Structure 1
Amino acid sequence: MDGAKGDFSVEMRRKEVVAAVLPMKEHRLPLSNLDLLLPPVDVGVFFCYKKPVSATGEDNIPFTFTSMVCVLKKALAQVLVSYYTFAGEVVKNTVGEPELLCNNYGVVFHEAFANIELRDLNLYNPDESIEGKLVPKKKQGVLSVQATELKCGGLVVACTFDHRVADAYSANMFLVSWAETAQSKPLSLFPSFRRSLLNPRHPGRYDPSMDYMYVPISALQPPNPCNQVDHLISRIYYVEAEQLSELQALARGSGQKRTKLEAFTALLWKIIASGEGGSCKRCKMGIVVDGRTRLSGGDGKEGETIKTYFGNVLSIPFAEKTAGELRERPLSWAAEAVHNCLESAVTGEHFLGLIDWVEAHRPEPTMATIYAGGSSEEDCGPAVVVSSGQRFPVAKMDFGWGKAAFGSYHFPWGGDAGYVMPMPSAVGNGDWVVYMHLLKGQLQMIETQASHLFRPLASHHLCF
């Protein structure tokens, strides 16, 4: 690709605040106990569009950057009526916990121009092409948006949102609703903000394993000394469906079929462990689990409500094995360990217990243990979190000028643990796009040992 060094400039041309089109009564909305498990980190997402094939859109208005931005802003103002939390602000309550001030502050909307063509964007290295250029830094509010015109007439639409307010499932709901609104379609889903769905039980109860999976922030140790010689960087890879099927077959053990995500996670775990010098180093692998289907309570009205719940409904169980075990044992063994880890968190009782665990520790801030990484010489092996992005709605992100040629989350969160998210390709053929935020040495191991599987994202992988 041209521009492989990310050597292009972005000119910020305009900034304004887009508020919901209808006024609302100002009120405060508490964060749920599951929201309170998230540190104050922002998550980015972006979609790339080629120059519109059709010359005009609705009402025969020509598709120019200005007209497309008008569509985005108008639809945003409308959809914020339903997704009003994205137009609010995060403030502190009387005991110092974060909560939402629903005041229709609005969304900061940036307009920009980048002197590069879509085909030349080095999406394999988002640290150079995306970070600080095409995905906005959120300085105010809960959500920030940037629309960037490319030299070829293409467009990049990017958002950055506060993870404490929404998980990926919630953000995906919003993104689809935004695109539907832009095309004057009825919303396929309406968000629910019923915090009572995640209320703690009285008396509360939880399994002792929660004290292993989650930790009060005051109990955290200093940063992992082993990681100070390396640093986390971001890369995006393309994985073909055929390779995923072959990997899934290799992960089958004793007649037990494993999912593609389990097989993928197992391979990633083994590769990362192979780079550890000592066989006794503990390697942690966490998997993000969405609790909506676990808490749905059947097919009744309450079940439907929790499926459209807007907020965080996540748990991050993790497994821990030595580097020696992971190197010596077959892929099927690692896949079974991943499967068993997931089994511990795919029940309604697990999520109810997690809600109760947070309640027992409030107002002390808490977080997932795996995000803390190892902190001692004996326990300074790697820690990585895998989050399935298979619901990523890249195929649905049509604002009226065509489907996205590419889309991805962008989450260089800055913690000690690595983060990996596989998502469906915009091509829609079963291929994956995989965003990785890992140590530089870990990525080198992946590219050395599994170059046949993880191919650096290139322009021919885009849906042109």
Structure 2
Amino acid sequence: MAKENGKSEATIAITRWEPVLVYPVEETGDEYFFLSNLDQNIAVIMKTVHLFQANERRSSDDVGQVIKGALAKLLVHFYPLAGSLTISSEGKLIVKCDGHGVPFVEAVAECAMEVLGDISTPDPEKLGKLVYTDPGAKSLLETPLLTVQVTRFRCGGFVVGLAMNHCMVDGLAAMGFLKSWAEIARGLPLSTPPFLDRTILRARQAPKPEFPHHEFDDIEDVSNLAQLYTSEPLQHRSFTFDAAKLGRLKQMAMEGDGPLESYTSFTALTGLIWRARTRALNMGPHQKTKLLFAVDGRARLEPPLPVGFFGNGIILACCLCEAGELLDQPLSFAARLVQTAVRGTTDGFIRSAIDYYEVTRARPSLTATLLVTTWTQLGLSSLDFGWGEAVQTGLVDLPQKEVALFIPVWKESKSTVVVLGLPAPCMEVFQELMDF
């Protein structure tokens, strides 16, 4: 089942108060905060909204004050988020702990929250009103590392909207931050204090990349994909894969030449989306196409990253082949490539990737590339600031046109929603390929 973004049927009128800056309630230490090489290439602003329905036993009239007060206490533990981004003497991103503060905005909506509907598909026009962005920021370095907007709706429900720089957190670190925030709002101690020291992910003193790092390969655009994206409007849709459909997909992935292998839902689904997107974009047979996907390296490193690690612990795994080969072979071919890339994400590979960036300062090329990221294991529905657990979480927009996001179906752990954008004519082809 596909869902498409579009104009909101109902107009959402939002009244915002002026932003106030929230500071840690206690003095914090360091002047500068180190960002690892895993943080450097993902300095994009991620805008998310978290929806909480009305609680019959507790008014939301003071929700803004409660969440703001909890944030001031939380920033003592997560103080780098109150700083600002700058460039180090090595030419890398680093956080200056200058007490810049976190912009915090309270707002009210002249409607009930149900007007938002299903927010699984990004909708910048509608959901963008629920997130505050600093109008004075002219560059990424001037953009706050975190902004917060709490919007109360007429029904008593509210939305917490965040704009957070990805260089500060990956999905697991962001969820740890949010859960800690919610614990303080509920008057509880932190169950998992953050581990802030990212120097444990420094490059080796004599960097030694030991693996090929095709994630950084530049690909020639022989299929004129850039022209396609500029000539056609980008359309976002979400596709739901319930347990039965995922079961059929995993069975399809095991059909083909060679011995049967068992594939995870992620492996089979990633292979399917890569092939379908390649066909929908009508890539030429000799067009190289790349698949990148985030793998959590926390437990793969030796020793593993400490519990509560606050930063990016993800590494980009890569598959690369010609479009013709990808499409001529059965789904099992793509699934096997994904599985091999996952298994290859070892401590040695991660250390090699960190060193590769140290030597080259390369950025992953995204030509003819699909970048998959998944939220299915984050436990988003457990977030509770004291008015009950979240009822929906969504992304305002996808950070890059090459991104596909896997998110859980709310309260249904065995179902997955895939969200992506494609040029409009290509999206029609893609949707047909999702019917099986």
Aligned counterpart in structure 1 of residue 254 of structure 2, from 247, 252, 255 = 252
Query: In the alignment, is residue 173 of structure 1 matched against residue 169 of structure 2?
Result: no
Runs of 5+ unmatched residues, structure 2: 138-142
Q: Which residue among 247, 265, 270 is the counterpart of 2:275? A: 270
Per the alignment, do residues 391 and 80 of structure 1 end up closer, same or farther by CA in structure 2, a change over 3 Å counting?
farther
Mapped contact 1:146–1:157 kept (Cα < 8 A):
yes
Letter in 1 for 2:362: T
Cα contact 2:123–2:396 (8 A) shared by 1: no
Does the C-alpha gap of structure 1 residues 191 and 354 become closer, same or farther in structure 2, counting only changes over 3 Å?
A: same
* Matched residues, number: 418
Contact 1:3 1:120 in 2 (8 A): no
C-alpha change, 1:393 and 1:80, in structure 2 (3 Å) is farther
Contact 2:38 2:313 in 1 (8 A): yes
Q: Which residue of 2 aligns with 1:240?
A: 242
Closer, same or farther in 2 for the Cα pair 1:53/1:394, shift >3 Å?
farther
Instruction: Provide Cα deviations, 1:273-325, integer angstroms capped at 9, x if missing partner.
Output: 2224333333322111121111142xxxxx462x4221222222322333333
Q: Is the 8 A contact 1:86 1:107 kept in 2?
A: yes
* Aligned position for 1:294: 300
Q: Give yes or no for contact 2:300–2:347 (8 Å, CA) kept in 1.
A: yes
Identity fraction in percent: 25
Q: CA–CA distance in 2 between the matches of 1:342 and 1:441?
A: 32
Cα deviation, residue 265, structure 1? 0.7
Match of 1:17 in 2: 21
1:313 and 2:313 are equivalent in the alignment: yes
Out of 203, 210, 227, the position equivalent to 1:207 is 210
> Do 1:3 and 1:121's aligned partners in 2 also have CA atoms closer than 8 Å?
no
Q: Distance in 1 between matches of 2:386 and 2:14?
A: 25
Letter in 1 for 2:38: L
Instruction: Note closer, same or farther for the CA distance 1:423–1:446 as it changes in structure 2 (3 Å cut).
Output: same
The offset of 1:70, in angstroms, is: 1.5
1:427 aligned to which of 411, 414, 417: 411
**Which residue in 2 is equivalent to 1:402?**
388
Distance in 1 separating the partners of 2:339 and 2:105: 43
Q: Which runs of 5+ in 1 are unaligned?
A: 57-62, 298-302, 374-381, 453-464
Shift of 1:227: 2.7
In the superposition, relative to structure 1, how do residues 322 and 53 fare at CA in structure 2: closer, same or farther (>3 Å)? farther
Change (3 A) 1:412 1:195: same
> Distance between the aligned counterparts of 1:343 and 1:229, measured in 2?
39
Query: Could you tell me how far apart the structure 1 residues matched to 2:179 and 2:125 are?
Result: 25
TM-score by length of 1: 0.82
Distance 1:3 1:209, change over 3 A: closer
Give the superposition deviation at 1:431.
Answer: 2.2
Amino acid at match of 1:315: I
Bigger shift: 69-78 or 321-330? 321-330
2:362 to 355, 362, 366: 366
Match of 1:339 in 2: 339
Which 4+ runs in 1 deviate beyond 6 A?
Answer: 219-223
Counterpart of 2:374 in structure 1 is: 388
Q: CA shift at 1:450, angstroms?
A: 1.6
Match of 1:87 in 2: 82
Distance 2:405 2:18 in 1: 32
Query: What SS does the corresponding residue of 2:276 show, helix, strand or coil?
Result: helix
Aligned-partner residue type, residue 264 of structure 2: T
Q: In terms of mean alpha carbon deviation, does 20-29 or 131-140 score higher?
A: 131-140
Give the Cα separation in 2 of the matches to 1:445 and 1:265.
Answer: 18
In 2, Cα distance between the equivalents of 1:451 and 1:11? 42
Counterpart residue number, 2:55: 52
Three-state SS of the structure 2 residue aligned to 1:387 is strand
Report how far residue 3 of structure 1 moved.
Answer: 7.2
Distance (Å, rounded) in 2 between the aligned partners of 1:205 and 1:304:
21
CA distance in 1 between counterparts of 2:246 and 2:260 reads 18
Is the 8 Å Cα contact of residues 238 and 432 (structure 1) preserved in structure 2?
A: yes
Please tell me whether the aligned partners of residues 271 and 331 of structure 2 are also in contact (alpha carbons under 8 angstroms).
Answer: yes
Post-superposition shift, 1:74? 1.4
The one of 163, 183, 189 aligned to 1:160: 163
Paired residues of 2:38 and 2:314 also in contact (CA < 8 A):
yes
What's the RMSD between the two structures over aligned residues? 2.8
Q: Distance in 2 between matches of 1:338 and 1:174?
A: 30
- The CA distance in 2 between the partners of 1:241 and 1:275, in whole Å, is 25
Q: What is the CA–CA distance in structure 2 between the aligned matches of 1:276 and 1:438, rounded to whole Å?
A: 8
Provide Cα deviations, 1:334-390, integer angstroms capped at 9, x if missing partner. 21122123233x2000111111112223xxx43123x3x1xxxxxxxx321111212
Conserved in 1, the CA contact under 8 Å of 2:122 and 2:397? no
